[in-house]
Amino acid sequence: MPIRLGMEIHPQILIFAVSLAAIVALSGLALLLRLGGTAQLTSEPDAIKAAGEVHDGYQAVEAAVSADGAAAILNDASGQIMLIKRHGDRFAGRLLQSNARAQANGDLLSVDTGEKRFGRVQIQHTDAASWAEAVNRLKERRNA
């Protein structure tokens, strides 16, 4: 049955208008509360903090952050290497094992964790060659 407000408004139009207003209000609230967005690494300290959040107790001493802020590779005092990458609005990470492989092509570091689910991560960084060498040395440690 149509509602009378001086003119007839079809119930479907009214439902649509109220739903649209609710969506806009919730979107505004999410923006106000700074919910969502894209996780971004802007510096080495950001990467070190993110690595500590990904793996409790991991204390990096060195980090290389990708130029786009989407990934980083880190090293701790004992030589454990961690790779982190953006995963939605957070970061996911892996401690690299002896099955990890890395390749540098100019400033582009490509790291394969050896895990299909985590996949290959690319990091644009000026020190790509030395990081690739460090990752590939992990295999030597296992064989020693």
The dihedral sign for the CA sequence 105, 108, 109, 113: negative
* Mean pLDDT calculated for residue range 116-123: 91
Q: What are phi and psi of 63, to 5 degrees?
A: -145, 150
Q: How many CB atoms lie within 10 A of CB 45?
A: 12
Amino acid identity for residue 100 in this structure:
A
pLDDT tens, residue by residue, 27-60: 888 888 877 667 788 899 999 999 999 998 899 9
DSSP state of 65: E
Q: Please report the pLDDT score of residue 32 as a whole number.
A: 84
For the whole model, what pTM was predicted?
A: 0.72
Asked whether 100 and 119 are in contact (CB, 8 A), the reply is no
Gap between the Cα atoms of 17 and 26, Å rounded: 14
Q: Which CATH class, in words, describes the domain spanning 44-143?
A: mainly beta
The dihedral sign for the CA sequence 8, 11, 12, 13: positive
Domain limits of the chain?
Answer: 3-32, 44-143
